[in-house]
Amino acid sequence: KAGVTQTPRYLIKTRGQQVTLSCSPISGHRSVSWYQQTPGQGLQFLFEYFSETQRNKGNFPGRFSGRQFSNSRSEMNVSTLELGDSALYLCASSLDGGQDTQYFGPGTRLTVL
């Protein structure tokens, strides 16, 4: 089975721009979660989607949003980028979320200049 894939792997943007990141889960997995990883804050939960519905949301501003499609692929969008949004964004998929094992993609490295 193919693993979780994320595109693009690297992005460079400037302040004020917006960005869309994509995640394709493992086939059959219905839950997709997004995380932000920075040296200072570590791994922080952004949101989880299950069957096209946002089921959980972390403590991030409304500039961070996401969606999930009927094939379980997910996208996250960050609008009005700030320097502090520079991070590794990780996507993880699991069968049904909850205590199911989450499998992570390689991440998208976003740099905001």
Partner 1 sequence: AQSVTQLDSHVSVSEGTPVLLRCNYSSSYSPSLFWYVQHPNKGLQLLLKYTSAATLVKGINGFEAEFKKSETSFHLTKPSAHMSDAAEYFCVVSDPGNTPLVFGKGTRLSVIA
Site for partner 1, rule CB under 8 A: 4, 33, 35, 42-43, 45, 48, 50, 55-56, 58, 90, 92, 97-99, 101-107, 109
Residues present in the chain in total:
113
Residue with Cβ nearer partner 1 (18 or 27): 27
Read off the tokens for 85.
């949004």
> Smallest distance, Å, CB 49 to partner 1?
12
Residue with Cβ nearer partner 1 (39 or 62): 39
Residue with Cβ nearer partner 1 (70 or 101): 101
> Smallest distance, Å, CB 57 to partner 1?
9
> Smallest distance, Å, CB 8 to partner 1?
14
Question: What are the DSSP calls for 23-75, one per residue?
Answer: EEPPTT--EEEEEEEETTTEEEEEEEEETTEEEEE-S--TTEEEEE-TTS-EE
Round to whole Å and give the CA distance between 24 and 29.
Answer: 10
